[in-house]
Structure 1
Amino acid sequence: MPSRRSILEKAKAADLRPQGVDGKRLQKVLERAKKFFRRPSRHADESVERHVSLMAQSVERRDWQAARDHALALGLLGEQLGDPGLVKKAGRGLRRLGGGNRAWQLIASSKQVPGRPEWDGSDLAGRRLAVERREGDLAIFFQFASLLGPVVAAAERCTVLVEPRLAPLYRRTYPALDIRLEGEGEVAATDADVFACFETLAKHFWPDEPTARAPFIPLEPDRRLVAELRSTYLNRGSGPLIGFAWGSLNKSKDLPALDDWRALLGNLPGRFISM
């Protein structure tokens, strides 16, 4: 005699999806509706394209305020649409246009990692903070280094994941930092209470009011190596040494060609060191 299954067991085993023609048609309509609501509206797409175009035009005619206004509008649209790429684009635009703290807010927001509690600027006493770059080149480790001072002083422990070549530089500057090397483990394994990218630190420590910003802390170089290099360069002749950063790996930057620098470099005293 076949065993009788409970209603619960039957329900678990049953395929409860719509099986009839009408049911399947309804299912397709629902799936299309879900995809539709996940997409930005045509009006939103047009607004984004319009602000991108107008921002570019404003930059070309050097109307910086108008360019900032369009970048701000793009950031707001990106937030409303839940589009991290657009938020990042707007933040980077504002950063180049001198958009103040709003630039860091947008970039930090675009870099948030789902599932990790992002530091919100609240008190770090008794808490462990992990800081990482998430994306970007080595310049991030130099530009935002001063922002580690306040968190080192406030947090129970501050862990920073750095590019291996910069670990000695960071250890000399911040002996209390817990330095970890990028590529030698996941940031989630640092046993931190809250997490942050460097732009999150800028969001909280670089407000628009200059007097309220975190103080500048210079990185501590290897003094012996500095003396050796200085002696080597100075022994090659008289005149000041001028560091010259003439290129970039960022292909989207509009940089002068070396021939364009010729008139300037030929008239400056001293010797140049390629950075």
Structure 2
Amino acid sequence: MAEAPLDDPGSRTLRRGLQVLDAILASGRDGLRVIELCRAAGLERATVYRLLATLLEGGHVARRGRFHYVAGPRLAAVAAPTALPNMAMRLAPVLERVSRACGDAAFAIVREGPASHCIARHVGTHPVQILVIQVGTRQPLGVGAAGLALLAALPDDEVDACIAANAQALPHYGGMTPERLAILVRATRERGWSVVGNHATQGVLAAGMAVRNAEGAPVAAISVASTLDRMPRERQQLLARWMREALAALLPNGV
């Protein structure tokens, strides 16, 4: 099969898209406005808008505020693998402490683009353990309690991008919808921790809490899962307290 010439329309579009993406990545957390992207990439405004539309749709770029563009959720997966072993080791004592306090299984996840990735799990002492996910399990960010806690801790533009990227997959998780997930995000923010049931696994309810790094950015989350009859509101609140206390005691400066 003959190679496409370097100046064919497809190659030009790809090259321009990469120029825009490189400029956004170089801008860091503040991002760039469209006019700044035009100057950085040497492109017309209309061209930049078309490229941004595609990058936004794919989750490679996200909006920060009304006018700035930053790296999107899919790019988070690029750096994630190298950090996983250290993150899992740092969170393992937290999971052990929480699980020992409540008797149920505790889990830790990190974000990979619009997905959650379970990196650690600690089995409790209660006779019935709800091992809803295994280490290595990936699922849409937000369908489980830890993923919901992490999703709710992200900026609005990243939340919107993650929900949009997972829109087609969400119904496979207990009939979850983008609208329902947005409601759960708002409730989690108001409460300060997440609670979700009958979405990732039927007959199970779990509570979760985001974990932040030294700069205060949400980078992981932990959760506890059990059967519905073991998770009345009072116990959910107690689990949230145990998770908060474990994080404060063992990771006072962030993970």
Using the size of structure 1 for normalisation, the TM-score is 0.28
Question: Which structure shows the bigger proportion of residues in strand conformation?
Answer: 2
Using the size of structure 2 for normalisation, the TM-score is 0.30
* Structure with larger Rg: 1
Whose relative contact order is higher, 1 or 2, with alpha carbons under 8 Å and at least 6 apart? 2
